[in-house]
Amino acid sequence: MPRGRASNYDEQRGMILAKAAHLFAHGGYPGTSMNQVAEATGFSKATLYHYFHDKYSLLVDIAEGHVSRLEALVVDVVAERLEPEDHMRALIARIMAEYAGAQDAHRVLTSEVRFLEAADRKRILGKERRVVAGFADAIAAWHPEHAKAELTKPLTMLLFGMINWMFTWMRPGGALSHEALAPIVTDLFFGGVPAVGRGKAGRG
């Protein structure tokens, strides 16, 4: 008779993913072994293989799990049917809150995605593009003039440029947290987007 799953299977699986994400984020995917993952989790390698087939399946689950949560939050905010400005504010707040607890997974998605096989990379990057499209659509509803000027995607990428690379300079446990920075990012974006294009008349 096949062995059933333990009652804490999902919790243990999540812990393994978190430990592996930390190792991949700081030591790189190629430089991390299953022995290191086992040591970090306190499990034997045999126990790890009860949860994941191999190291590659860990990479796929970390990257896809993170981007799937980002995609889901975009869908959730759309479902709230907020006014355009409130919609945009909610997206920024929600993605900043998600990043606060997923810095290792985000770093893996950013820097280790190149080690994914073609089909997995295509699927995961497709989810990432849908996240970008969700933000671009929100900007278009908020400022239709930027949609006409085909600026919604560039503005989205500028926003993500502020958010995506915070892990390179934020200190864990430092004075600034994602929660503290969320209103700052929002203020910068809301102050800047309406001003886009105002300087055209003075350009030579």
Q: How far apart are CA 75 and CA 92, in angstroms?
A: 13
pLDDT class for 4, splitting at 50, 70, 90? low
Q: What pLDDT score does 126 carry?
A: 97
> Is residue 79 in a domain?
yes
For the cut 80, the answer to whether the pLDDT of residue 140 exceeds it is yes
> Is residue 26 in a domain?
no
DSSP string, 86-135: HHHHHHHHHHHHHHHT-HHHHHHHHHSGGGS-HHHHHHHHHHHHHHHHHH
Q: How far apart are CA 110 and CA 112, in angstroms?
A: 6
- Whether pTM > 0.75 for this model: the answer is yes
H or E stretch covering 72 = helix 55-79
Widest CA span in the chain: 78
pLDDT class for 178, splitting at 50, 70, 90? confident
> Is residue 61 in a domain?
yes
pLDDT digits (tens, 9 = 90+) for 31-80: 999 999 999 999 999 999 999 999 999 999 999 999 999 999 999 999 99
* Domain boundaries, position 176: 54-194
> Is residue 148 in a domain?
yes
Structural domains counted in the chain: 1
> Is residue 58 in a domain?
yes
Q: What pLDDT score does 2 carry?
A: 43
> Is residue 41 in a domain?
no
> Is residue 81 in a domain?
yes
> Residue 7, SS3?
coil
pLDDT digits (tens, 9 = 90+) for 79-130: 999 999 999 999 999 999 999 889 899 999 989 999 999 999 999 999 999 9
- Helix axis angle, 103-111 relative to 9-27, nearest 10°? 60
> Is residue 156 in a domain?
yes
Single-letter code of the amino acid located at 41: T
- CATH number where 98 lies: 1.10.357.10
Q: What is the mean pLDDT of residues 141-169?
A: 91
